[in-house]
Amino acid sequence: MELSGRTAVVTGAASGIGLALTERFCAEGMSVVMADIETAALERAAERLTAGGATVLAIPCDVADADQVAALRDRALEAFGAVHVLCNNAGVASGRPNHKTKPAVWDWVVGVNLLGPAYCVSAFVPAMVAQGEGHVVNTASEAGLTASPFLGSYHATKYAMVGLSESLAMELAGSGVGVSCLCPELVDTRIFASTRNAPAALGLPAPQDIPIEQIAAAMGTTAMPPADVAAMVAYAIKANQFWILSHQSTRSKMMARNRRLEQGLNPVFGDGA
C-alpha cells in the first residue's frame, strides 16, 4: 500500500513509538491524526510538527473509553474524509507480582492495552473494508511472545494483542485491508514511566525516568531508537508484512519458549535468551 496522500490515525502519538510513527508518516507525505491521553505533550508535539509543515490533527482521547474512540473516528473522517492506516499503539505497563496486582490496576492495563485497540478496530475497520483499502498496525510486544515475572498484566494484554492481530489478519485476507503485529523488544521511550498516565485513584508510585542504558543492561538487550521502529512499520505497511520484530534476539527467545511448549515442559524465565 502506498502511504503518500493517505491518512493515518496513531494512538499514543504524543511520545515514544507513536510520536516516531507520526513523524515517519508525515515524512512519507501522509496526514496524521494524533490521539493521546496526555494532552499537553500531544499539543506540544502537534504544534512542532505543524510548524515544520506537516499535516497533523491532535485529538485528546482515552482509548479505553469506547465513546471517545467513536468520537475520534468521527473527527478523523470529518477532517480527512477517510482513514487508511490505524496504529493501535497506546500502551501502559505496571510491574508487580500478579497476586499483588489490584483489580483497578488490571482494569487500567487491560483497558488501555487491549480494549482500546479492540474499540479502535470496531470503530475504524468497517470503513476500511468498505473502501477496500487500509492497514492496521497493532503494537503488541516481545512481551506478547515470551513471558517474564512481575509483568503479568502487561504480558496478558500483549499476548492478547498477538491473538487479536492474527485473527484479524485471517478475517481481512483478500479485503484490501492488511494487518501488522509489531513486537518490539526494548525501545528508548517513556513506557517505564507509564504511571504518569494512570488514574490517581490507583495509587500507583510516581513515574521514574530510569536511564534506558540501565534498563537495557538489566534486560540483557539493546534499546532501539523509536525512529528505527517507525521505519520498520512503514516498510511493513507497504509490503503487507504481518510480523514486525525489532530484535533478532526475540526470535531465539520465542523459539526456545515454543520448543518447551512442544515438549510439554514447564515455563522457565531466561531460557533461550
Ligand X SMILES: NC(=O)c1ccc[n+]([C@@H]2O[C@H](COP(=O)([O-])OP(=O)(O)OC[C@H]3O[C@@H](n4cnc5c(N)ncnc54)[C@H](O)[C@@H]3O)[C@@H](O)[C@H]2O)c1
Binding-site member from 3, 8, 14, 57 for ligand X (CB under 6 A): 14
Please work out the total of residues on this chain that contact ligand X, with binding judged by CB under 6 A: 29
H-helix or E-strand containing 108?
Answer: helix 103-110
Q: How many CB atoms lie within 10 A of CB 81?
A: 9
- Indicate the DSSP class of residue 265: P
Q: Rounded to 5 degrees, what angle do the CA atoms 2, 10, 230 make?
A: 60
Q: Count how many Cα atoms sit within 13 Å of the Cα of residue 241 in the half-sphere of its side chain.
A: 12
Residues 56-85 interacting with ligand X (rule: CB under 6 A)? 61-64
Instruction: Please state the closest distance from residue 253 (CB atom) to ligand X, in A.
Output: 13
* Nine-digit cell string for 166: 492474527
**CA Rg value for the chain:** 18
Binding-site member from 90, 109, 179, 244 for ligand X (CB under 6 A): 90
Instruction: Please state the closest distance from residue 130 (CB atom) to ligand X, in A.
Output: 26
* Site membership for ligand X, residue 139 (CB under 6 A): yes
Instruction: Please state the closest distance from residue 173 (CB atom) to ligand X, in A.
Output: 25
Residues acting as catalytic residues:
154
Give the whole-angstrom CA distance, residue 144 versus residue 79. Answer: 34
Region binding ligand X by CB under 6 A among candidate stretches 77-85, 172-180, 183-191, 264-272: 183-191
Instruction: Please state the closest distance from residue 103 (CB atom) to ligand X, in A.
Output: 18
Nearer to ligand X, 83 or 191 (CB): 191
* Nine-digit cell string for 188: 528508548
Binding-site member from 24, 32, 38, 155 for ligand X (CB under 6 A): 38
Give the whole-angstrom CA distance, residue 74 versus residue 90. Answer: 19
* Nine-digit cell string for 138: 497493532
Instruction: Please state the closest distance from residue 73 (CB atom) to ligand X, in A.
Output: 14
Region binding ligand X by CB under 6 A among candidate stretches 26-34, 129-137, 184-192, 234-242: 184-192
Residues 109-138 interacting with ligand X (rule: CB under 6 A)? 112
* Nine-digit cell string for 145: 511472545
DSSP, collapsed to helix, strand or coil, labels residue 86 as strand
Region binding ligand X by CB under 6 A among candidate stretches 12-20, 46-54, 76-84, 248-256: 12-20
Query: What are the residues whose beta carbons fall under 8 Å from the beta carbon of 153, sequence distance 6 or more?
Result: 94, 98, 101, 105, 106, 109, 110
Binding-site member from 94, 197, 249, 250 for ligand X (CB under 6 A): 197
Residues binding ligand X (CB under 6 A): 11-12, 14-18, 36-38, 61-64, 89-92, 112, 139, 141, 184, 186-187, 189-191, 194, 197
